């Protein structure tokens, strides 16, 4: 997902309207596109579908991971530690790895 694929915000609702019973209607609208909540005609919040919120969170996490990876590469001095040294330092043996359950990564 890129920022350009986010839906444009065309719907608004005032806090007063939400307090007067429009919360359910607003949540239904938010399933299709984000709704801006206004307080005294100033945007104060956005209501959006939970799936869209989760996609945005995942996108932000991916961007943060990419930024950290680039930062690490910028400061990398070219040296690496081989797996045997890492295992020895962590106190892990080949037998420990063989006995460990399979783990699935996303």
Yes or no: say if 2 and 39 are a contact pair by the CB < 8 Å rule: no
Is residue 9 very low, low, confident or very high in pLDDT (cuts 50, 70, 90)? confident
Task: Say whether pLDDT at 1 is over 60.
Answer: no
Yes or no: say if 6 and 13 are a contact pair by the CB < 8 Å rule: no
Task: Say whether pLDDT at 20 is over 70.
Answer: yes
Q: What angle do CA 74, 76, 80 make, to 5 degrees?
A: 155
Yes or no: say if 16 and 26 are a contact pair by the CB < 8 Å rule: no
Domains within the chain, CATH numbers bracketed: 3-55+67-99 (3.40.1620.10)
pLDDT tens per residue across span 78-94: 899 999 999 999 999 99
Position 10 scores a pLDDT of 83
């Amino acid at each position: 997902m890129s920022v350009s694929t986010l839906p444009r915000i065309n719907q608004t609702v005032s806090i007063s309207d939400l307090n007067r019973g429009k919360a359910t209607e607003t949540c239904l609208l938010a399933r299709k596109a984000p709704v801006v909540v206004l307080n005294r005609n100033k945007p104060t919040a956005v209501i959006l579908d939970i799936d869209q919120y989760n996609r945005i969170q995942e996108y932000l996490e991916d961007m943060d991971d990419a930024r950290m990876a680039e930062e690490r590469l910028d400061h990398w001095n070219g040296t690496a530690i081989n797996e045997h040294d890492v295992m020895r330092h962590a106190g892990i043996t080949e037998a420990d790895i063989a006995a460990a359950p399979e783990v699935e990564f996303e």
